[in-house]
Structure 1
Amino acid sequence: MWLSMRIITPLFLLLGGVRGKDNIEKCKLVSESESAKKALRLLEPLTQENFTVAVEDEKEKYSYTFRVCGDVDGLTNAGLVQLKDSGTKVRIGNYNQTRVIGGSDWILLIYEGGEKYESHCSKEARKAMIMISCNKDTKGKFSVVLEDREKQEDCYYLFELDTSAVCPVIPSKLSAGSIFLIVVFCCLSVYILGGFLYQRLVVGAKGVDQFPNYAFWSEFGNLSADGCDFVCRSRGNREEPPTYRGVATEPIEEEPEERDDHLLPM
């Protein structure tokens, strides 16, 4: 069973990645460029999801549903659809007429070719603009910003989508010294923990004897001091000089006493 799961899981991941790539290719760019294709590829993780937001104004309630390079509510080529409370569906933009502008941590996705206005904006086709911004704390937060239709042309619907999919990858800043210290710390932790368990469970040690190689480490300080003493200190005669320089260190022999008895008169 475990072996089967290990084989099947990578297959699912591989198929999911291929499917996401196929969905991205459904988006037809109005103006193709390498920068637009690169920005569009960043949206592959979002191709399997629908993003919906409900809106209520003075007249009625309705909702917007957005999908990256996929059909919404079964409408062919419809990437963003407005669903009114009455059940009417309005195509806001098509993903087969896509424009993409990418930045460092944002992507502006534009769907053109929606249904034409009935009386506004010179009856031109609707257009959806979705500002997709980096937000590491959420997978996908979809919201409506505005509908700009109070002009003669170039009207649009503006939406925001906060997601972590477009966040730039931050490279590791660990230096070689930091990596070395981490490896040493991990090895030391394994040594102490493994040795402790072995001494306690296998050898049956108690108290401080549970520490691995306790006899060696208890003598390590003395051995280090002896090594330092041997290498760094002089081994010659270290007799301290006398306190007063004018006094000889060897005992002074007493001079023989001169007797002058022979000088006395007899």
Structure 2
Amino acid sequence: MKAMNRHSGGSLLVWTLAVQVLLCWSGIYTTDSIDSTKNCKLYSDSESERKVLKRLEPLAQRNFTVDSTNADEDYTYVFQLCGDAWGASGAGVVQLDNKKAKKQTVIGMYNATQAYGGRDWVMLIYRDGETYDSHCSKEKRRAIVMISCDRDMDVGKLGSVLENREREQDCFYLFELVSSAVCPPLQSQLSPGSIILIIGVCVVAVYLIGGFLYQRLIVGAKGMEQFPNYAFWVEVGNLTADGCDFVCRSRSREEAPAYRGVATEPLEEEPEERDDHLLPM
């Protein structure tokens, strides 16, 4: 009895641990994977922009980096969709100065997001970055990420196009990215008639293959008898041929002969006339 109690208690403990692990995994999955774009706060909240962000859900929780190097500057840019880029709280795009021990400069915040989209592209704007030191009237930095469609690529590499800061205001950093996430859904090119034809061909194929296997393996038929419902289809073929012959042929099969021939029925033998009485006695 004690052994049975120990066995029952061990099973209950195992099941309890399994349920707890499952609940923890479900909680992690729910918080991390379901609609991560909600972390983005739209600069002016609208349903249309929220739908555009929803299209980018496959890109969430991923860091994208690109290096920009010239004679005077050596920067690394880090972009994350609705998440902390390079671990900087609230930053959607971060600039790292490689010449100054990875000094961080926030280019744009994901709590000030704008999202615009077309049929096969999305333009994501992060506003309210750190202010310029001397350029652009010391306004706040802004990052623009252009995401375009490429059906052959889940997501490409982040590309740095330019930094437009030689102006008084509305300066921006421009990046580009390609992904299949923004591609429009493919429309079916099949007409209703084509779909019906495909279904019909599939049904006939199943009928022939299934009937052949049944006749061969279950009934034990050989040769043409393996064809499903062979007698029925032979009769249908004969009737079809007869109907076609009747409709399409203009000449009757049984024509009256052009001349009178010899009767086919055997003539009745006339009784032999005996003229023995005419002979002289």
Q: Same fold (TM over 0.5)?
A: yes
The residue correspondences of 1:204-223 to structure 2 (distance < 5 A) are: 210-214=226-230, 216-217=232-233, 220-223=236-239
Equivalent AA in structure 1 for residue 109 of structure 2: N
Structure 1, unmatched stretches of 5+, are 1-7, 243-248, 252-266
Which residue does the alignment assign to 1:63? 76
1:178 is aligned to 2:194 = yes
* DSSP-derived class of the 2:145 partner: strand
> What per-residue deviation string (whole Å, max 9, x for no partner) do you get for residues 73-107 of structure 1?
22111011122323222211101011122222211
Relative to structure 1, is the Cα distance of residues 199 and 172 closer, same or farther in structure 2, using a 3 angstrom cutoff? same
TM-score norm. by structure 1 comes to: 0.73
**Does the CA-based 8 Å contact 2:155-2:178 persist in structure 1?**
yes
Relative to structure 1, is the Cα distance of residues 237 and 132 closer, same or farther in structure 2, using a 3 angstrom cutoff? closer
Aligned positions, number: 233
**Does the CA-based 8 Å contact 1:20-1:48 persist in structure 2?**
no
Shift of 1:119: 2.5
How far apart, in 2, do the equivalents of 1:83 and 1:210 lie?
A: 76
> What per-residue deviation string (whole Å, max 9, x for no partner) do you get for residues 110-168 of structure 1?
00111122222222211100111111111112211111112222111001111111112
* DSSP-derived class of the 2:195 partner: helix
How far apart, in 2, do the equivalents of 1:204 and 1:47 lie?
A: 61
Which residue does the alignment assign to 1:138? 153
TM-score norm. by structure 2 comes to: 0.70
1:126 is aligned to 2:126 = no
**Does the CA-based 8 Å contact 1:77-1:95 persist in structure 2?**
yes
> What per-residue deviation string (whole Å, max 9, x for no partner) do you get for residues 202-236 of structure 1?
55666665544455556653342024345666897
How far apart, in 1, do the equivalents of 2:253 and 2:120 lie?
A: 75
1:226 is aligned to 2:242 = yes
Normalized per residue, the structure richer in helix is 2
Which residue does the alignment assign to 1:264? none
Relative to structure 1, is the Cα distance of residues 216 and 38 closer, same or farther in structure 2, using a 3 angstrom cutoff? same
**Does the CA-based 8 Å contact 1:35-1:102 persist in structure 2?**
no
Which residue does the alignment assign to 2:130? 115
* DSSP-derived class of the 1:151 partner: coil
Shift of 1:201: 4.6
* DSSP-derived class of the 2:48 partner: helix
* DSSP-derived class of the 1:80 partner: strand
The residue correspondences of 1:1-266 to structure 2 (distance < 5 A) are: 15=29, 19-21=33-35, 23-85=36-98, 86-141=101-156, 142-202=158-218, 210-214=226-230, 216-217=232-233, 220-229=236-245, 238-239=254-255, 242=258, 249=259
Q: Among all aligned residue pairs of Structure 1 and Structure 2, give the percentage whose two residues are the same amino acid.
A: 54
Shift of 1:38: 2.1
Relative to structure 1, is the Cα distance of residues 179 and 73 closer, same or farther in structure 2, using a 3 angstrom cutoff? same
**Does the CA-based 8 Å contact 2:61-2:82 persist in structure 1?**
no
How far apart, in 2, do the equivalents of 1:215 and 1:238 lie?
A: 29
* DSSP-derived class of the 1:66 partner: strand
* DSSP-derived class of the 2:181 partner: coil
How far apart, in 2, do the equivalents of 1:55 and 1:208 lie?
A: 75
